[in-house]
Amino acid sequence: MPTAQFEYAYDKNEAIYVLEGEAIVTPRDGRRAVRLVPGTYAVFPKGLECTWDVRRRVRKHYQEFE
């Protein structure tokens, strides 16, 4: 059961590296959902609209870029 669920729209490109926790990120455009766990590296493109289902509190390093 998610501890939190929220909608998010990226206004910049963002690269993340997950340190702890777990979340499922589901794009609204029908692309495949991504499961984030410790050790995951992911890049979310500018303009992506998605739903975050946070299963365990996520701690991450991130970098926004153009």
| pLDDT, the chain, mean | 96
DSSP codes of every residue in 25-55:
EEETTSPPPEEE-TT-EEEE-TT-EEEEEEE
What are the beta bridge partners of residue 17? 41, 61
The CA-based dihedral angle spanning residues 38, 41, 44, 50, taken in that order and rounded to the nearest 10 degrees: -30
Look up the pTM and report it.
0.90
Amino acid identity of 21? Answer: G
Which pLDDT tens digit goes with each residue over 19-45?
A: 999 999 999 999 999 999 999 999 999
- Other Cβ atoms less than 10 A from the Cβ of 58: the count is 20
Total number of domains in the chain: 1
Domain of residue 58: give its range: 4-65
CATH of the domain at 20: 2.60.120.10
Which pLDDT band, with edges at 50, 70 and 90, does 48 fall under? very high
